[in-house]
């Protein structure tokens, strides 16, 4: 039996994989598990519930709220806000847990349900397993005055906005920033945050209609924001995804500044200001080799984790570190947030431009991006990758050929019959040649299904 929870909550096609009935049952299971400490203290659990603007979020939030309230949980409905805002609010009001209904950068027909524990932190696998097991247990059935309430969290966005502005130590006056809100959860708060911080703001992707979230806009579709940055003569472009936990940047010439480059900029700046704990940055194994080279040059240690922001979060917590993230633009400031926050990242990036007096292109030059080639080999036995000697020998030969000027990473997909072959090198044609050779070997060794 496959696990219900994936790498970031429960996700699927709304109305098919995630139905009103399944959302209600999941909420009842969460109430049983996440509300237990409050009940042991003889008080009623409180949960913050929020969503992004996709159309299915309305029925899913209604089902989640019904499941929680019917289980004796008081629900505060924060409406449409970013995922990091929901996490912040859980911590800010000391709620027992939170629920975010979103499918992040996925298209509108998809949706998801993710939970935050007390303090606004993502759930460990063991707690998710408890919730999944609770789905077959009898739900809580309080009656009378013990039934939970559902109320509007009226100042949710304002609280989050004040929190964001409180992280800044400089005004953004003089900066012209283009914001691509992906027709998503950032459409309300991100333009307000940048304008209140003093920036001149040009906005696109800020007219969500329930179905246009991430459609040809946002951090996965950068063409329009790049054009607008150049056409408007802006200093900086910021592209969010649907739930605004990611941020990618655009320089004045329309060049993309990805999550690795953003981390390099922020890590070097934080070290200079004495704010980078143990002079250490956390990133995943998929980060570009150029990030490690840049960090070495600036005396910053790089801790690398498995792919996924939850593993970055675990490492930040385990070692008490301040900054980490992913190439995709999930950047985590542990001093200010418990999850990736795209609006916070954009503000901090803009603030460093002001503090340094440098353009985003000049700041990004701290890191040389190594050409990276990724080949997805589908229809193969991904589990056979481990222990396959011919493939291991070929990888060793490729690594020896590249030396310190490149690297090789073969990674089985977590959900599909696929192996991802990633090669980095100083020159693109070298990376492409090695990646193609390894991909062919993977096909030959692990077999292509019909």
Q: Which residues are catalytically annotated?
A: 104
Q: Is 243 assigned a ligand-binding role in the annotation?
A: yes
Q: Residue 245 is encoded by which pair of tokens?
A: 């936990």
Largest CA distance in the chain: 72
* Cβ–Cβ under 8 Å, residues 182 and 205: yes
Backbone angles phi, psi at 182, to 5 degrees: 60, 20
The 8-class DSSP code of residue 251 comes to -
Closest CA to 382 of 411, 346, 356, 345: 411
What are the C-alpha distances in Å from 179 to residues 46, 119, 187, 343?
Answer: 34, 29, 9, 10
What are the C-alpha distances in Å from 40 to residues 34, 35, 44, 133?
Answer: 11, 9, 10, 20
CB atoms within 10 A of CB 94: 10
Helix and strand element counts for the chain (H, E): 15, 19
Q: Is 245 assigned a ligand-binding role in the annotation?
A: yes
Q: Is 341 assigned a ligand-binding role in the annotation?
A: no
3-state helix/strand/coil string of 113-137: EEEEECCCEECCHHHHHHHHHHCCC
Q: Is 378 assigned a ligand-binding role in the annotation?
A: no
* Cβ–Cβ under 8 Å, residues 50 and 99: yes
For 128-131, the CB contacts below 8 A with 24+ separation are 128/5, 129/3, 129/5, 130/33, 131/5, 131/26, 131/29, 131/30, 131/32, 131/33, 131/34
For strands 236-239 and 176-180, give the pairing: parallel
Q: Produce one character per residue of 373-391: b if its CB has 16 or more CB atoms within 10 Å, e if not.
A: bebebeebbbeebeebeeb
Q: Residue 359 is encoded by which pair of tokens?
A: 């353009």
Output the known binding site for Mg(2+).
104, 241, 243, 245
């Amino acid at each position: 039996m496959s696990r219900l929870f994936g790498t970031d909550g429960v996700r699927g096609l709304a109305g098919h994989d995630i139905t009103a009935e399944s959302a209600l049952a999941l909420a009842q299971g969460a109430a049983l598990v996440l509300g237990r400490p409050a009940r042991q203290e003889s008080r009623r659990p409180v949960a913050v519930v929020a969503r992004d603007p996709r159309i299915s979020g309305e029925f899913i939030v209604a089902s989640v709220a019904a499941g929680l309230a019917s289980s004796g949980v008081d629900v505060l409905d924060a409406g449409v806000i970013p995922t990091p805002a929901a996490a912040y609010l859980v911590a800010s009001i000391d709620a027992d847990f939170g629920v975010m209904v979103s499918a992040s950068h996925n298209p509108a027909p998809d949706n998801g349900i993710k939970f935050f524990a007390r303090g606004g932190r993502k759930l460990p696998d063991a707690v998710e397993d408890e919730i999944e097991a609770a789905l077959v247990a009898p739900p809580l059935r309080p009656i009378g005055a013990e039934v939970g309430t559902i109320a509007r969290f009226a100042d949710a966005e304002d609280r989050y906005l004040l929190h964001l502005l409180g992280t800044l130590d400089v005004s953004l006056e003089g900066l012209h920033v283009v914001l691509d809100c992906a027709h998503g959860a950032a459409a309300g708060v991100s333009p307000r945050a940048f304008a209140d911080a003093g920036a001149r703001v040009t906005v696109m992707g800020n007219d969500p209609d329930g179905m246009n979230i991430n459609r040809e806009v946002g951090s996965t579709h950068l063409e329009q924001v790049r054009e607008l940055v150049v056409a408007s003569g802006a200093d900086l472009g910021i592209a969010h995804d649907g739930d605004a936990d990611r941020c990618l940047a655009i320089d004045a010439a329309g060049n993309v500044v990805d999550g690795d480059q953003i981390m390099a900029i922020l890590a070097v700046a934080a070290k200079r200001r004495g704010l980078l704990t143990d002079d250490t940055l956390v990133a995943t194994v998929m980060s570009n080799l150029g990030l490690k080279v840049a960090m070495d040059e600036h005396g910053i240690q790089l801790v690398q984790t498995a792919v996924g922001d939850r593993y970055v979060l675990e490492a930040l917590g385990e070692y008490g570190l301040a900054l980490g993230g992913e190439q995709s633009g999930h950047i985590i400031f542990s001093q200010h947030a418990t999850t990736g926050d795209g609006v916070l990242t954009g503000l901090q990036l803009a603030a460093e431009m002001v503090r340094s007096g440098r353009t985003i292109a000049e700041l990004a030059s701290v890191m040389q991006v190594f050409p990276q080639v990724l080949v997805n080999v589908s229809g193969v036995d991904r589990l056979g990758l481990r222990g396959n000697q011919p493939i291991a020998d070929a990888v060793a030969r490729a690594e020896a050929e590249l030396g310190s000027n490149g690297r090789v990473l073969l990674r089985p997909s977590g959900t599909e019959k696929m192996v991802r072959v990633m090669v980095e090198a100083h020159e693109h044609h070298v990376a492409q040649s090695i990646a193609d050779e390894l991909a062919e070997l993977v096909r030959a060794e692990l077999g292509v299904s019909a």
